[in-house]
């Protein structure tokens, strides 16, 4: 065997010209063979995963402690905090599954990227406060030795919410709650608004709340009929563009699939049952399409412009030094666009967004739209707030989804809360019990009023 | 990640390098330096061995903790002697200089703080020179308590960034003069937060390496603060010279003082 191999290998031509060359007309692919042999040897050596019958190195592993469905900002945040809060190094194996490596439809990359503390629920305010602190100290959390420090390109210009007469009392109450939780918000009258932002038309505005970027440093911190509890044993992860799939045995599954969380929940059997029962309560998260437009306006608001949210629902913010602005508007319930694709409707800007913008900022009457894109909100049709924590019946599925347009700004804090729930069994730093799944069955809405 | 076959660049003998932590910190302040193509021996070792990487991370953590410790707020001094003395103590400990109202500039002398600092409980501070101090977002708490501060100099502070600038609105009533020259982490997004300082009369934003377009930023800041004299980049800097001007302008440096 060895002699035959030697005879083949040391044939006259090969020896004469060295290993790099191959003979004319020969089909011997020496480079390919060498790399294959190297791969086989590497897989045989200790530490490599060698299965004698087939090579599965291109598939996910067969066992994992936690499988996170969805690789957007929430899924990655949960993965990060799981590894950061684990008791021993390497105690938990985490697998993050994301179906699109280019993130072309993910809400994370298509988001306008505003972060604010002007919410009505105290839990939301706390989530945002911690997330701002995380972003401020991001180099303490995410820095790698020898790499340059992270630059978030964050604009600490603040967030300005405008309210008309009807919304003024609600805004005042909300500001009281926000100040109680430690957010720095200041209420402004129309005259003060005009003085500070001379480019703004304050007609119809009764009150405005200007939120500075504030952060917190420290948190003060279950019938007689049979109930069947289910457990997810395996997650079948199918590789793109092929028929192969890998059954990953896991202990916990985290649903962080954003706009598609409803479908993932259906795969686990959540919602399959008679309606009105806990088995029949579906996860009420569905994708809703939202448009973002980028326009240029040479006489527009200056460097000091915060992210302004009009009472009509239109919002905009400045981008960069070149008088470019990003903005959009959430459509009314009846006019929801079809979420089947991410095509942009330019008429929506003409009819619904531009009039409000031009009325609020007269300089925006002459603007030119440069680009536009669309992204999905993982819209919680029940109360527009996130779903966090385990499912009562499918005991090892945890949710981290449904944030309806404020997921990106709350992701670090939510990731930490879900990791705490998984590792300790209860929330430690921020108590997110109003956001558990059981509220859909019990009918207790944790309604957030300040939704854009 | 260094490819196995890439050439190692031994910049200096390894024993001359000092603690890797200090190098890491200086690299974080100078972003261009860390993008050099070659990797030094220490970086190569850290890429390939977990132990070396762990040691370097530990040293870097120690550096970070040292800066954090320097920026702790001293609540005892604040309660006992008042916010002005506490602020002055903080600045003098960091190596800066403080000027109380109607008094001379107080600098830290080598032998410790002068005894008369403790008697100035009621005297407000009107100027602070914190050039080169390692003040962070936390440490700024001490400065923001000085409600009569008129002049603040944060020149070449390595840890002052956009987030710190977003806190300066608390000094809007009194601050007349602010200097941010040479701070490596400040960008135009932080400068946008300065529009709250409506009483500002002098602002120095020269030599900010992280600002993408200094000339345009200067114009926008001047528009934002109409009553303020903004020193910094010349607005013509960054504009492309025409062909006849290019030959004239070969040796002149475009950055004014």
Query: Would you state the pLDDT for residue A15?
Result: 44
Can you read off the two tokens belonging to residue B16?
A: 């001359």
Nearest chain B residue to A135 by CA: give it: B163
Share of chain A above pLDDT 70, in %: 89
Range of the domain at B92: 75-233
Which chain B residues are Cβ-neighbours of A148 within 8 angstroms?
A: 27-28, 31, 34-35
Strands, DSSP E only, in A62-205? 63-69, 94-97, 159-163, 185-188
pLDDT at B22 over 60: no
A304: closest CA of chain B, how far (Å): 5
Mean pLDDT of A61-80: 92
Give the span between the Cα atoms of A200 and B199, in whole angstroms. 22
Give the span between the Cα atoms of A264 and A275, in whole angstroms. 19
Residues B52 and B87 both lie in one domain = no
Long-range Cβ contacts of B36-44 (<8 Å, 24+ apart):
B38/B6, B38/B7, B38/B8, B38/B9, B39/B2, B39/B6, B39/B8, B39/B9, B40/B8, B40/B9, B40/B10, B40/B11, B41/B8, B41/B10, B41/B14, B42/B14, B42/B17, B43/A146, B43/B2, B44/B2, B44/B8
Band (pLDDT 50/70/90 cuts) for residue A423 is very high
Which chain B residues are Cβ-neighbours of A153 within 8 angstroms?
A: 187, 189
- Report which listed range, A32-41, A148-157, A350-359, B74-83, is most confident: A350-359
Residues B54 and B81 both lie in one domain = no
Helices (H), A297-443: 346-348, 354-360, 407-424, 438-442
Residues B219 and B189 both lie in one domain = yes
For the beta sheet containing A314-319, the strands, ordered from the edge strand earlier in sequence to the opposite edge, are: A185-188, A207-211, A159-163, A307-309, A314-319, A324-329, A285-296, A368-380
Give ipTM to 2 decimals: 0.72
Residues B166 and B55 both lie in one domain = no
Which chain B residues are Cβ-neighbours of A213 within 8 angstroms?
A: 163, 166
Q: How many residues does chain A have?
A: 452
Residues B52 and B89 both lie in one domain = no
Residues B62 and B183 both lie in one domain = no
**Model confidence over A207-221: pLDDT tens digits?**
999 988 876 554 332
Residues B139 and B227 both lie in one domain = yes
Query: Would you state the pLDDT for residue B240?
Result: 64
Q: Is B184 a domain residue?
A: yes
Give the span between the Cα atoms of B22 and B24, in whole angstroms. 5
Contact: A321, B162; criterion CB under 8 Å: no
Band (pLDDT 50/70/90 cuts) for residue B241 is low
Query: Would you state the pLDDT for residue A327?
Result: 92
pLDDT at A8 over 50: yes
Query: Would you state the pLDDT for residue B73?
Result: 77
Residues B68 and B79 both lie in one domain = no
Residues B128 and B222 both lie in one domain = yes
Query: Would you state the pLDDT for residue A53?
Result: 67
Query: Would you state the pLDDT for residue A139?
Result: 86
Query: Would you state the pLDDT for residue A191?
Result: 93
Band (pLDDT 50/70/90 cuts) for residue A44 is confident
**Model confidence over B62-82: pLDDT tens digits?**
988 898 888 887 788 888 888
Mean pLDDT of A249-278: 89
Nearest to A148 among B34, B46, B166 (CB): B34
Query: Would you state the pLDDT for residue A224?
Result: 53
Q: How many CA atoms lie within 13 A of A400 on its CB side?
A: 32
Q: Is B213 a domain residue?
A: yes
Nearest chain B residue to A141 by CA: give it: B61
- Report which listed range, A212-221, A234-243, B136-145, is most confident: B136-145
CA nearest A231: which of A259, A205, A250, A212? A250
Q: Is B34 a domain residue?
A: no
Residues B107 and B227 both lie in one domain = yes
Burial (Cβ within 10 Å: 0-12, 13-18, ≥19) of residue B192: buried
pLDDT at B20 over 80: no
Can you read off the two tokens belonging to residue A419?
A: 């990791």
pLDDT at B255 over 70: no
Between the alpha carbon of residue A101 and those of residues A61, A70, A72, A382, the distances in Å are 18, 11, 10, 31
Q: How many other CB atoms are found less than 10 A from the CB of residue B26?
A: 12
Can you say how many angstroms the Cα of residue A74 is from the centroid of all Cα atoms in its chain?
Answer: 4
Q: Is B227 a domain residue?
A: yes
The DSSP secondary-structure symbol of B34 reads G
Query: Would you state the pLDDT for residue A66?
Result: 93
Nearest chain B residue to A184 by CA: give it: B167
| Residue A257 backbone phi and psi in degrees, to 5 | -90, 10
Share of chain B above pLDDT 70, in %: 74
Which chain A residues are Cβ-neighbours of B27 within 8 angstroms?
A: 146, 148
Mean pLDDT of A274-296: 90
Burial (Cβ within 10 Å: 0-12, 13-18, ≥19) of residue A246: middle
Query: Would you state the pLDDT for residue A69?
Result: 93
Look up the CATH number of the domain holding residue B105. 3.80.10.10
pLDDT at B12 over 70: no
Q: Is B22 a domain residue?
A: no
Greatest extent of chain A over all pairs of C-alpha atoms, in Å: 96
Query: Would you state the pLDDT for residue A293?
Result: 94
| Residue A50 backbone phi and psi in degrees, to 5 | -115, 115
Report yes or no: B171 and B87 within 8 Å, Cβ to Cβ.
no
Query: Would you state the pLDDT for residue A146?
Result: 75
Which chain A residues are Cβ-neighbours of B192 within 8 angstroms?
A: 155-157, 303-304
pLDDT at A313 over 50: yes
Between the alpha carbon of residue B126 and those of residues B84, B88, B146, B157, B177, the distances in Å are 10, 11, 8, 20, 11
Helices (H), A182-267: 190-196, 261-267
Mean pLDDT of A246-258: 91
pLDDT at A75 over 90: yes
The DSSP secondary-structure symbol of B177 reads E
Contact: A147, B224; criterion CB under 8 Å: no
Chain B contact residues (CB < 8 Å to A): 20, 24, 27-28, 31, 34-35, 43, 46-47, 53, 56-57, 60, 64, 137-138, 162-163, 165-166, 169, 187-193, 195, 210, 212-213, 216-217, 220-221, 223-224
Give the span between the Cα atoms of B237 and B219, in whole angstroms. 11
Strands, DSSP E only, in A244-360? 245-255, 285-296, 307-309, 314-319, 324-329
Tally of domains within chain B: 2
Mean pLDDT across chain B: 78
Angle between helices A165-181 and A122-136 in degrees, nearest 10: 60
pLDDT at A104 over 80: yes
Q: Is B178 a domain residue?
A: yes
Query: Would you state the pLDDT for residue A26?
Result: 58
Contact: A213, B188; criterion CB under 8 Å: no
Nearest chain B residue to A156 by CA: give it: B166
Query: Would you state the pLDDT for residue B41?
Result: 84
Q: Is B3 a domain residue?
A: no
Which chain A residues are Cβ-neighbours of B213 within 8 angstroms?
A: 321
A115: Cβ–Cβ under 8 A, 6 or more apart, which residues?
Answer: A128, A131, A132, A135, A159, A213, A408, A409
Strands, DSSP E only, in A44-92? 63-69
Query: Would you state the pLDDT for residue B3?
Result: 41
Q: Looking at the complex, does the CB of residue A147 fall below 8 Å from at least one CB of chain B?
A: yes
pLDDT at A5 over 70: no
Contact: B166, A153; criterion CB under 8 Å: no
Mean pLDDT of A337-360: 90
A215: Cβ–Cβ under 8 A, 6 or more apart, which residues?
Answer: A129, A130, A132, A133, A136
Residues B127 and B56 both lie in one domain = no
CA nearest A389: which of A222, A181, A145? A222
Which chain B residues are Cβ-neighbours of A303 within 8 angstroms?
A: 188, 191-192, 195, 220-221, 223-224
Can you read off the two tokens belonging to residue B198?
A: 């409506």
Residues B176 and B137 both lie in one domain = yes
A146-175: b or e for each residue (b if 16 or more CB lie within 10 Å)? beebeeeebbbbbbbbbbeeebbeebeebb
Mean pLDDT across chain A: 85
Lowest mean per-residue pLDDT among A53-67, A90-104, B59-73? A53-67
Q: Is B89 a domain residue?
A: yes
pLDDT at B257 over 90: no
Query: Would you state the pLDDT for residue B7?
Result: 40
């Amino acid at each position: 065997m060895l002699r035959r191999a030697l005879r083949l290998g040391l044939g006259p031509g090969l020896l004469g010209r060295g290993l790099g060359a191959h003979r004319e007309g020969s089909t011997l692919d020496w480079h390919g063979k060498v790399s294959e042999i190297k791969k086989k040897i590497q897989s045989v050596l200790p530490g490599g995963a060698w299965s004698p019958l087939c090579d599965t190195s291109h598939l996910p592993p067969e066992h994992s402690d936690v499988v996170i469905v969805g690789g957007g900002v929430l899924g990655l945040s949960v993965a990060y905090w799981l590894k950061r809060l684990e008791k021993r190094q390497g105690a938990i194996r985490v697998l993050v599954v994301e179906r699109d490596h280019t993130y072309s439809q993910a809400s994370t990359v298509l988001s306008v990227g505003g972060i604010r503390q002007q919410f009505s629920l105290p839990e939301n305010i706390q989530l945002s406060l911690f997330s701002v602190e995380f972003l401020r100290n991001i180099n303490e959390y995410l820095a790698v030795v020898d790499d340059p420090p992270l630059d978030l390109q964050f604009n600490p210009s603040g967030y300005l919410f405008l309210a008309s007469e009807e919304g003024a009392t609600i805004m005042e109450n909300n500001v009281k709650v926000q100040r109680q939780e430690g957010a720095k918000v200041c209420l402004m009258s129309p005259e003060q608004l005009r003085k500070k932002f001379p480019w703004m038309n304050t007609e119809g505005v009764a009150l405005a709340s200007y939120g500075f970027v504030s952060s917190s440093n420290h948190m003060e911190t279950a019938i007689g009929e049979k109930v069947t509890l289910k457990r997810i044993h395996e997650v079948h992860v199918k590789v793109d563009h092929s028929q192969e799939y890998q059954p990953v045995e896991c202990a916990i599954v985290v649903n962080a699939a954003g706009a598609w969380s409803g479908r993932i929940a259906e795969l686990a059997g959540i919602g399959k049952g008679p309606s009105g029962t806990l088995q029949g309560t579906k996860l009420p998260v569905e994708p809703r399409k939202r448009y973002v437009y980028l326009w240029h306006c040479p006489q527009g608001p200056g460097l000091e412009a915060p992210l302004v949210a009009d009472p009509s629902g239109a919002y905009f913010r400045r981008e960069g030094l070149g008088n470019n602005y990003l903005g959009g508007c959430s459509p009314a319930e009846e006019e929801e666009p079809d979420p089947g694709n991410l095509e942009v409707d330019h008429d929506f800007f003409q009819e619904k967004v531009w009039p409000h913008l031009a009325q609020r900022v007269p300089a925006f009457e002459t603007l030119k739209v440069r680009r536009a894109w669309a992204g999905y909100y993982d819209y919680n049709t029940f109360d527009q707030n996130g779903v966090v924590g385990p499912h009562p019946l499918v005991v090892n599925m945890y949710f981290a989804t449904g944030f309806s347009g404020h997921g990106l700004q709350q992701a670090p804090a939510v990731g930490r809360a879900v990791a705490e729930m998984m590792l300790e069994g209860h929330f430690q730093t921020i108590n997110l019990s109003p956001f558990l799944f059981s509220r859909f069955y019990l009918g207790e809405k944790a309604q957030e009023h300040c939704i854009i | 990640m260094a490819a196995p076959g890439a050439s190692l660049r031994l910049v200096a003998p390894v024993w001359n390098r000092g603690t890797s932590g200090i190098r890491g910190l200086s690299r974080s302040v100078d972003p261009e330096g860390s993008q050099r193509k070659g990797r030094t021996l220490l970086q190569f070792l850290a890429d390939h061995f977990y132990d070396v990487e762990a040691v370097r991370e530990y040293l870097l953590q120690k550096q970070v903790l040292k800066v954090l410790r320097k920026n702790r707020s001293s609540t005892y001094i604040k309660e006992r002697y008042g916010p002005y003395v506490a602020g002055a103590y903080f600045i003098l400990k960091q190596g800066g200089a403080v000027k109380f109202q109607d008094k001379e500039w107080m600098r830290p002398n080598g032998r410790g703080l002068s005894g008369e600092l403790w008697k100035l409980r009621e005297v407000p501070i009107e100027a602070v020179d914190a050039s080169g101090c390692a003040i962070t977002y936390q440490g700024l708490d001490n400065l923001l308590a000085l409600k009569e501060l008129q002049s603040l100099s944060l020149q070449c502070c390595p840890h002052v960034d956009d987030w710190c600038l977003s806190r300066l609105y608390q000094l809007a009533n009194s601050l007349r003069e602010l200097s941010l020259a040479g701070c490596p982490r400040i960008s135009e997004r932080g400068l946008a937060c300065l529009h709250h300082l409506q009483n500002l009369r002098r602002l120095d934003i020269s030599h900010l390496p992280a600002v993408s377009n200094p000339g345009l930023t200067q114009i926008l800041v001047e528009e934002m603060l109409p009553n303020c004299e903004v020193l910094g980049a010349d607005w013509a800097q960054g504009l492309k010279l025409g062909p006849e001007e290019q030959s004239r302008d070969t040796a002149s440096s475009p950055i004014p003082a």
